[in-house]
């Protein structure tokens, strides 16, 4: 994992109530991240990585797995 992915995993671990290891194949709901926590996750990633997501990229139906979160941030890391 690269540094950015490690930061995102740390953010996910903070937001997830499960307190267990999280893998990129995990579904967000399986690690306790519901729709409200997805909003917290997005804000934490924006703050932590110094990026700002376009509203058009924030389709909750496309954020199912941890790997989807990585896919979301990739274009913003230019």
- The model's pTM is 0.91
Taking a C-beta distance cutoff of 8 angstroms, is the pair 63, 28 a contact? yes
The domain locations on the chain are 3-77
| pLDDT tens, residue by residue, 20-61 | 789 999 999 999 999 999 999 999 999 999 999 999 999 989
Q: Note the pLDDT of residue 67.
A: 97
Helix ranges (H only) for the chain are 3-15, 35-49, 66-73
Architecture per CATH, 3-77: Orthogonal Bundle (1.10)
């Amino acid at each position: 994992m690269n540094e950015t992915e490690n930061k995102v995993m740390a953010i996910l671990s903070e937001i997830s109530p499960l307190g267990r290891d999280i893998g990129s194949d995990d579904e967000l709901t399986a690690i306790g991240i519901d729709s409200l926590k997805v909003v917290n996750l997005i804000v934490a990633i924006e703050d932590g990585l110094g990026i700002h997501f376009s509203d058009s990229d924030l389709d909750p139906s496309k954020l199912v797995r941890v790997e989807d979160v990585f896919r979301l941030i990739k274009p913003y890391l230019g």
